[in-house]
Structure 1
């Protein structure tokens, strides 16, 4: 009887722990959905002038309106688009009286990137969102400077390469900037939100744990009777 009670406690206790983990993931899911909703609202808000005192945490996704001369230099960041395939984000410097910044003007396919050229023109007004993407880690290759291919948007390194401040505006609206480059605006698709899958996993494990406990206890009960 003592062993039976002990196994029952272990079974119910283990299931309780797994269920609590599932509930925690449901709570995390609600929190993450709220965060993403707030970011989406922020992304689509009315643009403001570029603040003079920027903070990467506070001003992430902030919609801004900037005006300046886009330089002829540019960087190519290797990315992939669904239904299109491989291509590049094009990063260009913008010369402004208050300091040079970078503009992510959009996406161009690999085929269209061959022979891509830009020239300085009249000042351009661009509406976009500030972003400091966290795309680099210990496995990110160093940029191929000879081929002008970068493998992630490293704001600080790109700013040094283009001689600008470490400020990146991702284009949302602008006049045609020349060439086959289409806007690739900021969105929340890449923000991970796997809490529902985690919750289902924990609840499934709790159900399996309870089922196995019931089977084991039934067998023990049958053994004791015999």
Structure 2
């Protein structure tokens, strides 16, 4: 009995820890799904006027309606879309009566010409966003060649003479601006808690199976042992 007590305690303790980690990930999954549901509801809410002083935390994903005149210069941000392949997000200025902001018009294919932006006022319906496109492997933006690898708002705003504030369009009034909108959504927000939970529960099952097998081997009598 003594020779199996320590392995038994060790095996059960390890299984308890692994199962607890799995349960914790299930709880995290429920929390993350609630957060995503709140974000999706916020994204789809009725648009409001552009805030005077938007806050990057409190106003992230805020739906807004902005009427202004598009700028003549369009920045190309290199992206890739499933089924469509490589292309560009188009970012330009939108100038209202008292301010100028950045607007992400949407997607064109990499070999498509830049669309002609109408000179007259347009109304853009979209969401405020402070994108985090850059990581350690992202190249520097080619400002001269007009190929951007990240939506660096400060650098774009400096180039176009606007506030470092981005409206990602999901629709616009009447005028076709020549791009397919890429509205903000929750697809880029990671939610891997279900996979983590399955991993921990699977490890717990394997741990218990290995513990059981070890105890069976330990307690099994060798052949020929009749004592």
Q: Normalising TM by the smaller chain, what interval?
A: over 0.9
Confirm whether residue 161 of structure 1 aligns to residue 190 of structure 2.
no
Q: Which moved more, 1:202-211 or 1:121-130?
A: 121-130
Closer/same/farther in 2, CA of residues 119 and 108 from structure 1, 3 Å limit: closer
Residue matched to 2:122: 124
Residue matched to 1:215: 213
The answer (yes or no) to whether the contact 1:72–1:117 under 8 Å persists in 2 is: no
Query: 1:146 Cα shift?
Result: 2.7
Residue matched to 2:92: 92
The secondary structure found in structure 1 opposite 2:125 is strand
What TM-score does the superposition give when structure 2 sets the normalisation length?
0.93
The answer (yes or no) to whether the contact 1:89–1:107 under 8 Å persists in 2 is: yes
Residue matched to 2:28: 28
Alpha-carbon distance in structure 2 between the residues aligned to 1:117 and 1:83: 22
Q: How does 1:62-77 map to 2 (within 5 A)?
A: 62-77=62-77
The secondary structure found in structure 2 opposite 1:166 is coil
Max Rg structure: 2
Q: Which runs of 5+ in 2 are unaligned?
A: none
* Matched residues, number: 224
Closer/same/farther in 2, CA of residues 42 and 151 from structure 1, 3 Å limit: same
What TM-score does the superposition give when structure 1 sets the normalisation length?
0.94
Deviations for 1:74-131, whole angstroms, at most 9, x for unmatched residues? 111111111110000000101122211000011000121x3x2535511111110000
- Consecutive aligned runs of 4 or more in structure 1 exceeding 4 Å deviation: 176-179, 223-226
The answer (yes or no) to whether the contact 1:80–1:87 under 8 Å persists in 2 is: yes
The secondary structure found in structure 2 opposite 1:111 is coil
Residue matched to 1:52: 52
What is the Cα-based RMSD across aligned positions, in Å?
Answer: 1.6
